[in-house]
Structure 1
Amino acid sequence: MATEDRFKQSVIVTLAKRAANRCSNPDCKAITSGPTDDPAGSVNVGEAAHIYGANPGAARYDADMSSSARSDISNAIWLCGNCHKLVDDDPNRFPVGLLFEWQREHARTISDLVGKAGADVRERYEKRHLDELGRLSYLAERLILEKDGPWEYRLTAEVLRFEMAPVLRRWDALQRGLYMKPATRVAKVDFLSWLDDRMAEIRVMIRAFGELSNVEFARAWGAPGVPGIESDIISVCRLYREVCEACLAWEETVRFSTVDDVYIEVRDLLVGVAGGIIDEAAKVPDFMSKILADNRAEGQFLLSMKLSLPDGWSDKMNSALARARRSHS
């Protein structure tokens, strides 16, 4: 296991206390700490288990997850040694979602046992609050409920990862030619208008991408010293996904369009233009995860994203259009 993916001792101690030193498996609930023969000693049989695996080959490992997220308490569940082995030996029977449900239910049970005032009321509030936020990953839900450390940035990275994953998979499949859609024929007389429409759409998508990246995320995170607003963070992440979906739809429109022979070169130059925006957007959650992994949650950080056409693209397009016009006339 990579050192950075291990739980720190402070995380282990806090996790054990939050679980009241009891196994979080609802079918077990064994006490994990007790006395030894030495009057001054104690024994611990509990373990901080990773929900998402800590290293490749481990149970429930997610390669897209950052080291900081794997080693965070939000990815931990307190189990006895037997149950830890049980869930890791059979990850299909004990998937990520089930372990998050165990952790959440155990926390509620312990809150009731220690007489935490308003535990039932808080449980109802949390359920309704999460329902209002819509579908989220289990990890995002835990980050929202616990709000530990730089939670705003961890939440942003996780929601972006969750929301963008289907788009990135589809974009990869499109580039590899793994699916097709019915072709749309663009008549020769309509091609230049069709081209103008595609370029206008690209400008709108670039403008939206820049506004979300440079303005809206910072607004959702809140001013320095002011907590962020989870609903705003999630909203911006979903708008980010929608921009990427629009870029993917644009690429499909271009790639599955049939044009007259004189305009094939022009059409082919459009391929990948909107996909470049998707590639740049994919850098954001990775960048944020790296900052968190390096424990640099304070300060200013710059991510440079290049939203520009390939070198020489404009000259190639102008030349292709000129040749098309000569052939057309």
Structure 2
Amino acid sequence: MANEDRFKQIVVTTIAKRAANRCSNPDCRAITSGPGVAPMATVNVGEAAHIYGANLGSARYAPDMTSANRSAITNAIWLCGNCHKLVDDDEQRFPAGLLFEWQREHERVIAEHVGKAGAELRRRYEDRHLEEFGKLSYLAERIILEKGSLWEYRLTSEVLRFEMAPIARRWGALKRGLYVKPSQRIGKEDFYPWIQARLHEVRAIVNACNGLMNDEFARAWGASGVPGSDRDIVDSCRLYAGVCQSIISWEEDIRFTSVHHIFRNLQDHFTGVAGVLLEEALKVPEFLSDTLSQEGLTGTHTLSLTLSLPDGWGDEAERLMEKSVADFAADLEG
């Protein structure tokens, strides 16, 4: 197990206390700590289990999950040793979503038993609050409800991971030629306005991504010392994912368009550039995770994220457009 993906001792201690040192499996609920033989000794048979596995090959491992979220308390559930082995030996029967449900329900039961009269009211509030967001991952829901240390950044990382996973799969399929779309044909007279529009669009996509990363995310995270807004964070992440989806749509438009042979060099230059942008955009959750994983992260920090077209790509596009116009004029004269 990678050291950075282990639970720190404070996480283990806290998740045990939140579970009242009882197994969170609703069919077990075994007490996991008690007296040892010596007067000052105690025995513990409970374990802080990873809901999403801590390392490659472990149960419920999610390769696109960030290290910071993998080792956070929001990915932990308190189980007795027997139940920990049970859920890890049969991940098909015990998927991550089920374990999140166990953890949440167990803490609700414990809250009611320790005399929190408002536990049922809080439960109603939490349910209503989560309804505002629509579909989220279980981990994102838990981060929203518990709001631990650096929760704004961990929520951003997790929502981006969840929202962009299908986009990454779609891009992988497009790269491997696993699907096609009906081809459109652009006539010689219509090509220049068409390619100019595509150039304008790709630049607008870059500007939108940078605006979201450096303005909207920062606003949603809140000013220094001020809690962020979970609603704004989720909205900004979904806008970002929407822009990434438009990158794929742009690439499809380029790839599945038939043009006159005079313009094919220019079309080839445009083909694939969206993929370069998308693969950089997909690194944002990992970037946040790496930042959060730094030891002793304290104080005020500014995150600057910039997405850009490859060096010289725009200049080469302009040069090829000028050449295409000249070739088109020569073709007309011929």
**Bin for the TM-score computed over the shorter chain:** over 0.9
Give unmatched runs, 5+ long, in structure 1. Answer: none
| Distance in 2 separating the partners of 1:7 and 1:183 | 52
Look up the equivalent residue of 1:20 and give its one-letter code: A
> Who is 1:278 aligned against?
278
**Superposition TM-score, scaled by structure 1 size:** 0.95
- 8 Å Cα contact 2:210/2:306 also seen in 1: no
| Distance in 2 separating the partners of 1:265 and 1:201 | 19
State the Cα distance separating 1:310 from its structure 2 match.
Answer: 4.4
Look up the equivalent residue of 1:305 and give its one-letter code: T
| Distance in 2 separating the partners of 1:205 and 1:306 | 10
- Encode CA deviations 1:252-309: one digit per residue, 9 max, x unaligned: 0110011122222222221123333312211211110001111436443554534124
| Distance in 2 separating the partners of 1:324 and 1:192 | 10
> Who is 1:180 aligned against?
180
- 8 Å Cα contact 2:262/2:324 also seen in 1: no
- Encode CA deviations 1:225-269: one digit per residue, 9 max, x unaligned: 000000000000000011111111011011001112222222222
> Who is 1:300 aligned against?
301
> Who is 2:26 aligned against?
26
> Who is 2:116 aligned against?
116
Which runs of 4 or more aligned residues in structure 1 lie more than 4 Å from their structure 2 counterparts after TM superposition? 301-304
Q: Cα 1:85–1:213, aligned 2, differ >3 Å: closer, same or farther? A: same
Aligned length: 329
- Encode CA deviations 1:28-63: one digit per residue, 9 max, x unaligned: 111111123333322111000001111111101112
1:23-172 equivalence runs, <5 A: 23-172=23-172
State the Cα distance separating 1:14 from its structure 2 match.
Answer: 0.7
Q: Cα 1:43–1:328, aligned 2, differ >3 Å: closer, same or farther? A: farther
Q: Which moved more, 1:275-284 or 1:80-89?
A: 275-284
Which residue of the other structure, out of 309, 323, 327, is the alignment partner of 1:323?
Answer: 327
Q: Cα 1:317–1:310, aligned 2, differ >3 Å: closer, same or farther? A: farther
State the Cα distance separating 1:321 from its structure 2 match.
Answer: 4.2
1:176-325 equivalence runs, <5 A: 176-295=176-295, 296=297, 298-303=299-304, 305-311=306-312, 313-314=316-317, 315-325=319-329
Q: Which moved more, 1:303-312 or 1:25-34?
A: 303-312
| Distance in 1 separating the partners of 2:48 and 2:111 | 19
Q: Which moved more, 1:259-268 or 1:107-116?
A: 259-268
- 8 Å Cα contact 1:33/1:43 also seen in 2: yes
- 8 Å Cα contact 1:183/1:256 also seen in 2: yes
Look up the equivalent residue of 1:33 and give its one-letter code: S
Q: Cα 1:198–1:153, aligned 2, differ >3 Å: closer, same or farther? A: same
- Encode CA deviations 1:143-193: one digit per residue, 9 max, x unaligned: 000000000000001111111111111112212211111111112221112
| Distance in 2 separating the partners of 1:46 and 1:39 | 21
Look up the equivalent residue of 1:323 and give its one-letter code: D
State the Cα distance separating 1:328 from its structure 2 match.
Answer: 4.2
Look up the equivalent residue of 1:141 and give its one-letter code: E
| Distance in 1 separating the partners of 2:328 and 2:269 | 13
- Encode CA deviations 1:77-116: one digit per residue, 9 max, x unaligned: 0000000000000111111101001000001010111111
Q: Cα 1:23–1:261, aligned 2, differ >3 Å: closer, same or farther? A: same
| Distance in 2 separating the partners of 1:276 and 1:137 | 27
Q: Cα 1:328–1:308, aligned 2, differ >3 Å: closer, same or farther? A: farther
| Distance in 2 separating the partners of 1:56 and 1:28 | 28
| Distance in 2 separating the partners of 1:236 and 1:59 | 31
| Distance in 2 separating the partners of 1:324 and 1:168 | 38
Give unmatched runs, 5+ long, in structure 2. Answer: none
| Distance in 2 separating the partners of 1:153 and 1:276 | 25
Q: Which moved more, 1:310-319 or 1:251-260?
A: 310-319
| Distance in 2 separating the partners of 1:220 and 1:90 | 39
State the Cα distance separating 1:326 from its structure 2 match.
Answer: 2.5
- 8 Å Cα contact 1:59/1:88 also seen in 2: yes
Q: Cα 1:70–1:141, aligned 2, differ >3 Å: closer, same or farther? A: same
| Distance in 2 separating the partners of 1:55 and 1:328 | 63
- 8 Å Cα contact 2:217/2:236 also seen in 1: yes
State the Cα distance separating 1:27 from its structure 2 match.
Answer: 0.6
